[in-house]
Each structure stands twice: as structure tokens, then as C-alpha cells.
């Protein structure tokens, strides 16, 4: 499955459970150690557990595991283990981690829920450590693509559409196709966040349903739908269409 490498601020999350996961990413990157004494920092592996593989868990889902265990999440972000070599080959592991700040007294409960203190990643003798960084701005779209993948066995991709002269147009195209009897395809044209649905087209139990809430995108959407198999989506040289592996 392929997706975009994106730059829309991750704080533009649309789904409720993602709001918790987004709140920290306005903060600058932080290198361990140096966290507040009464705060514990825990992690789990993800979102990708193996190179070339689809994400096994999203940041929002990781956060929800803690909150469902009754643990307050003070901050959530992406991160990486450092000082560990992973060969660049499909199937090999990744240094990716999902990092959460929680109250220090809730560390045993987090451990029971499957999380590990980031202290386990720190080894001065071996030169290993960890770092926190901002999740790229398109994770919210990735999450949607993953959550709706049940009817996207044939195709599930996200494309960023930029205008060459007008700069980034903040348009993301979700293109899904699969084997579900009443949901064999679904295309959505998003704006600057997943909450902004410019146009949509899908097979439903009531038949095909197409709609453009923002009518100025109707022509653009029609062109895209007629050319989903083209690398440029039929938009021509004025646009840059980028698809990047997830």
C-alpha cells in the first residue's frame, strides 16, 4: 500500500481519538533524557514494525490503549530508537517508536498494558538512545486509509496534489477499491485536513453516490475520477501528483 509523505500540520486531526495524539506535535523535538521528574515516558514499537509493511498501529490507537487502561496521556508523539542499525531491506525491523508521557505513578499500569519505559533504550556503553520528533502532517490521512482498508483489498493509496505555480494546494486524494459487494470503490478529495471533504465518490448499498460540497472542485474531481490509472491523474503538467510509500 502506498501513501504520501506529507506536510499538513498533524494538529489538523479530524477524528476524535486523534485529537489526543495530535496535541503534542506543536512542541519542538526533544532528546531524552530531560523529562519532568514526575512524568514517565513510555513507548511501543510502531507505527511500522517492518520495512515495506503497512503500519501495524497508529499513534491514535497507541494513545487509546493507554487511556482505555485508565492512564492519563500527557503527550504523544512519534519517535525513533537511535544507535541501532537496521539493514535496508523489506521485512527488516525499523527504529520507529510511538512515545507517550504519562504520570510517573502510572508506569506499572502502562507496563502491564504492553508499554516500556524509554529508559530501556538508553545505553551509554552501546551508544543507544531515543529521540522524539513531530509526526509528519499526513498521519491523520494515513490513519483514515488504514481504518477503511477492509474494503480496499485491490487499491488503497493517498496522493498529494500540488499546483506547480500556485504552490501547495493542500489537496489529498484517497483512492480505494476492493471486493466488498456494496462498497467496491471509494474516492475522497480532502482539503487541508481530513475534516475538509471537498468531494467524494463511492459505491454504497443505495448505489453510486458522488458529491462535491465545494463546487469549485467539481471539474478537478471529475478529471481525477476519469483518470485514476494515470500517473498525473489526468491533471496535466500544471500539477504535481506525488505518491509515496507508507
Once rounded to an integer, what is the mean pLDDT over residues 105-127?
96
pLDDT value, residue 28: 34
Q: Where are the extended beta strands (E) located within the chain?
A: 2-3, 39-45, 75-82, 96-103, 116-117, 129-133, 155-163, 167-177, 185-190, 197-204, 207-212, 239-242, 244-245
pLDDT-derived band of residue 6, with 50, 70 and 90 as boundaries? very low
Ramachandran category for residue 143: left, alpha or beta (phi over 0 → left; psi -120 to 50 → alpha): alpha
pLDDT-derived band of residue 57, with 50, 70 and 90 as boundaries? confident
- What span, in angstroms and rounded, lies between the C-alpha atoms of 83 and 25? 24
pLDDT tens digits for 140-152? 787 788 888 889 9
- Beta-bridge partner residues of 40: 102
Domain residue extents for the chain: 26-133, 151-245
pLDDT-derived band of residue 79, with 50, 70 and 90 as boundaries? confident
pLDDT value, residue 223: 97
- What span, in angstroms and rounded, lies between the C-alpha atoms of 193 and 121? 34
pLDDT-derived band of residue 134, with 50, 70 and 90 as boundaries? low
Q: Which residue has the higher pLDDT, 135 or 79?
A: 79
Whether 213 has a pLDDT exceeding 70, the answer reads yes
pLDDT value, residue 168: 52
Amino acid at each position: 500500500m502506498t501513501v504520501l509523505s506529507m506536510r499538513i500540520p498533524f494538529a489538523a486531526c479530524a477524528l476524535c481519538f486523534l485529537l489526543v495524539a495530535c496535541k503534542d506535535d506543536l512542541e519542538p523535538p526533544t532528546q531524552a533524557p530531560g523529562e519532568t521528574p514526575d512524568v514517565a515516558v513510555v513507548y511501543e514499537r510502531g507505527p511500522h514494525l517492518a520495512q515495506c509493511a503497512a503500519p501495524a498501529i497508529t499513534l491514535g490507537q497507541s494513545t487509546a490503549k493507554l487511556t482505555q487502561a485508565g492512564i492519563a496521556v500527557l503527550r504523544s508523539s512519534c519517535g525513533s530508537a537511535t544507535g541501532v542499525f537496521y539493514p535496508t531491506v523489506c521485512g527488516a525491523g525499523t527504529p520507529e517508536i510511538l512515545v507517550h508521557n504519562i504520570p510517573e505513578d502510572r508506569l506499572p499500569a502502562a507496563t502491564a498494558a504492553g508499554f516500556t519505559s524509554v529508559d530501556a533504550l538508553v545505553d551509554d556503553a552501546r551508544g543507544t538512545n531515543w529521540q522524539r520528533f513531530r509526526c509528519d502532517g499526513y498521519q491523520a490521512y494515513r490513519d483514515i486509509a488504514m481504518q477503511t482498508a477492509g474494503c480496499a483489498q485491490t487499491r488503497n493509496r493517498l496522493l498529494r496534489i500540488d499546483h506547480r505555480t500556485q504552490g501547495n494546494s493542500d489537496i489529498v486524494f484517497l483512492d480505494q477499491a476492493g471486493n466488498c459487494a456494496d462498497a467496491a470503490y471509494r474516492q475522497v478529495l480532502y482539503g487541508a485536513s481530513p475534516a475538509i471533504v471537498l468531494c467524494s465518490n463511492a459505491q454504497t448499498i443505495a448505489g453510486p453516490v458522488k458529491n462535491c460540497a465545494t463546487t469549485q472542485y467539481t471539474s478537478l474531481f471529475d478529471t481525477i475520477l476519469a483518470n485514476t490509472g494515470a500517473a498525473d491523474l489526468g491533471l496535466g503538467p500544471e500539477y504535481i501528483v506525488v505518491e509515496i510509500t507508507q
